[in-house]
Amino acid sequence: MGQADIRIVLVAPSHPGNIGAAARAMKNMALGELVLVGPKQFPHAEASARASGADDVLQSARLVGSLAEALAGCGFVAATTSRDRDQYFRVIDVREAAARIVSESRRAPAAVVFGAERTGLTNEELESAHALVRIPANAAYPSLNLAMAVQLTAYELFRAGSSETHAVAPAGPPLAGAEEMARLYAHFAQVLEEIEFRDRTQSGTHLMERIRRFLQRAELDQNEVNILRGILTAVQSRRRHAGEGRP
Residues 6 or more apart whose Cβ sits within 8 Å of residue 63: 36, 39, 42
Q: What is the chain's pLDDT, residue by residue, as a tens digit (247 residues)?
A: 445 799 999 999 999 999 999 999 999 999 999 999 999 999 999 999 999 999 999 999 999 999 999 999 999 999 998 877 776 788 999 999 999 999 999 999 999 999 999 989 998 999 999 999 999 999 888 889 999 999 999 999 999 999 865 555 677 888 999 899 999 999 999 999 999 998 876 565 688 988 999 999 999 999 999 999 999 999 999 988 776 655 4
CA angle 147, 165, 108 (to 5 degrees): 70
Backbone dihedral angles phi then psi of residue 43, each to the nearest 5 degrees: -65, 160
Domain 178-244 matching CATH 1.10.8.590: the answer reads: yes
Strands in 25-150 per DSSP E: 33-37, 62-64, 77-81, 91-93, 110-114, 131-134
Backbone dihedral angles phi then psi of residue 142, each to the nearest 5 degrees: -85, -10
Domain residue limits, the chain: 6-162, 178-244
Beta bridge partners of 110: 6
Topology annotation, domain 6-162: Alpha/beta knot (3.40.1280)
Confidence (pTM):
0.87
Question: Would you say 46 and 16 are in contact if contact means Cβ atoms under 8 Å apart?
Answer: yes
